[in-house]
Amino acid sequence: MGRPRTPLLDRQRIVDAALTLADEAGDLTIPALAGALRVSPSALYHHVAGRAEIIALMRRELAQRIGDPGLWELPWDQALDAWAHAYRDAFAEHPGIIRLLATAPLSEPFMHTLYEGAVTVLDEAGFETAQVMGIITALESFVLGSALDLVAPSAMVDAVVRDTTPRLAAALDAGPAGRSRADHAFELGLRALITGYRSLLVPVPEHPTPTTTPVVPPAARTAAPVPGDAVTA
């Protein structure tokens, strides 16, 4: 029997299967991945070094959807807003990978390049260097939680007894339902975050225009009288 023209296994197939497996099981193991691909575990090692590299490839797959280099040419608040939306949409498609990526160090150069863009736009906006990574981490934590909210039940607070908790019931009635509930919460929270970040910026003081002493022509100068001098008419 001749060898198949199309390889049975390649890195992209491994990544696609790993993303599916993570979504279904919330975890990733080499035996489970090999089973999903119907190959032996040893066959995977012809293409990847191990589980850590597969997770890195999964991260690259998602980063390609949120790493538009032109993003960081925008003003800092618009850049963070666009990044947050792209970030949430990418992870909402694969919520099972969130725990995997959140517990794996960011050691890939392509991720360092992505973060360099975020750090640069915040640094040039005037944020203190010591605050920059905290700003990014807080935003990412919010985005990842919002991605999970997209796949959560449409009504997270249920079976409310109106007579017992009337204010809660009224708040639930006033808010949107379904996918709109998650979108509304995301937009509200993102606006609050960016507004809060804006308050961290220290206004650059305006330098007053230097004042100059007017030059008096010599002919216009009058010497002050010296006490005791005679004054002639």
Choose the weakest-confidence range: 44-53, 56-65, 119-128. 56-65
Look at residue 35 and tell me whether its pLDDT is greater than 80.
Answer: yes
Residue 2 token pair: 């001749």
For the segment 22-38, the average pLDDT, to the nearest whole number, is 92
Look at residue 36 and tell me whether its pLDDT is greater than 50.
Answer: yes
Burial of 148 (0-12, 13-18, 19+ CB in 10 A): middle
pLDDT at 211: 55
- Of the pLDDT bands very low, low, confident and very high (cuts 50, 70, 90), residue 206 is low
pLDDT at 28: 92
SS percent in the chain: helix, strand, coil, step 5: 65, 0, 35
**Measured distance CA(173)–CA(207) in Å, rounded:** 53
pTM for this predicted structure: 0.75
pLDDT at 111: 87
Residue corresponding to tokens 């915040």: 122
Alpha-carbon torsion (107, 84, 196, 129), positive or negative: positive
For the segment 151-161, the average pLDDT, to the nearest whole number, is 83
